[in-house]
Amino acid sequence: AQKITQTQPGMFVQEKEAVTLDCTYDTSDPSYGLFWYKQPSSGEMIFLIYQGSYDQQNATEGRYSLNFQKARKSANLVISASQLGDSAMYFCAMRDPGNTGKLIFGQGTTLQVKP
Amino acid sequence: DTGVSQDPRHKITKRGQNVTFRCDPISEHNRLYWYRQTLGQGPEFLTYFQNEAQLEKSRLLSDRFSAERPKGSFSTLEIQRTEQGDSAMYLCASRETGGGFDTEAFFGQGTRLTVV
């Protein structure tokens, strides 16, 4: 069965510095997709970045990049130049291998950006 | 249409009462998902629709839960005889499937249910 593990319950980062949020996954399916979502206190899940298992390069979206290490089954999110508005809960998720599109989420990491 | 909307945002109910939540997805999205999120945890899948057809239900969805998407547009999630364990955030998401298998899902702001 698919599983996502986020081992950092909480992280602090100084404004303007970079931070890495860890995510490891477990799957026996050779084709899979990995997603990162941000959840501010308002509750909405905001899509940040996607990495497909067959993608040759690490995904990047503005200040977000994904450090994808397939052999280690890790998909860490890197946020560069942290801003106060980055303070939120961050979830790593994996697409279920069936054709449902449903997501399996990790437990999340709370990020606090210090001024 | 700027995104997925959910109503109400907050609901407080007494144990044993029935509650109904509504989700309006992004209009061109044919798939709609319901998730439940308890405090400090990631969302857990409950059920999903392809247009008006409910294609999968999680074992988390007990007999007291029912979901509908009657015309393939908005969806409702009803909980009958609520219990304190039902207290959670209920998230709705939608995505299109025509653009490719790995399109991202767009989430609403959720309905926070408190059962007292």
pLDDT, tens only, A92-113? 999 987 778 899 999 999 999 9
Of chain A, the percentage scoring pLDDT greater than 70 comes to: 100
Whether B63 contacts chain A with CB within 8 A: no
Whether B51 contacts chain A with CB within 8 A: no
Whether B57 contacts chain A with CB within 8 A: no
Model pLDDT, residue A80: 97
- Give the one of B42, B89, B101 whose C-beta lies nearest to A105's C-beta: B42
Burial of B7 (0-12, 13-18, 19+ CB in 10 A): middle
Model pLDDT, residue A97: 79
Residues A34-59 as b/e (b if ≥16 CB within 10 A, e otherwise) read bbbbbbeeebbbebbbbbbbeeeeeb
Q: Checking phi first, is residue B100 left (phi over 0); if not, alpha (psi -120 to 50) or beta?
A: left
Model pLDDT, residue B97: 78
Model pLDDT, residue B102: 66
Whether B100 contacts chain A with CB within 8 A: no
Contacts of B87 (CB under 8 A, 6+ apart): B38, B113, B114, B115
**Residue in the block written with tokens 């109904």:** B20
Return mean pLDDT, chain A. 94
Model pLDDT, residue B101: 58
Low-confidence stretches of chain B (pLDDT < 50) are: none
CB distance B107–A45 less than 8 Å? yes
Q: Provide, as residue numbers in chain B, all residues whose Cβ is less than 8 Å from the Cβ of A46.
A: 107
Confidence of residue A8 (pLDDT cuts 50, 70, 90): very high
Model pLDDT, residue B96: 84
Q: Provide, as residue numbers in chain B, all residues whose Cβ is less than 8 Å from the Cβ of A94.
A: none
Which amino acid would we find at residue A72? R
Average pLDDT over residues A53-65: 93
Query: A103, A104, A9: which is closest to B94 by C-alpha?
Result: A103
Model pLDDT, residue B47: 96
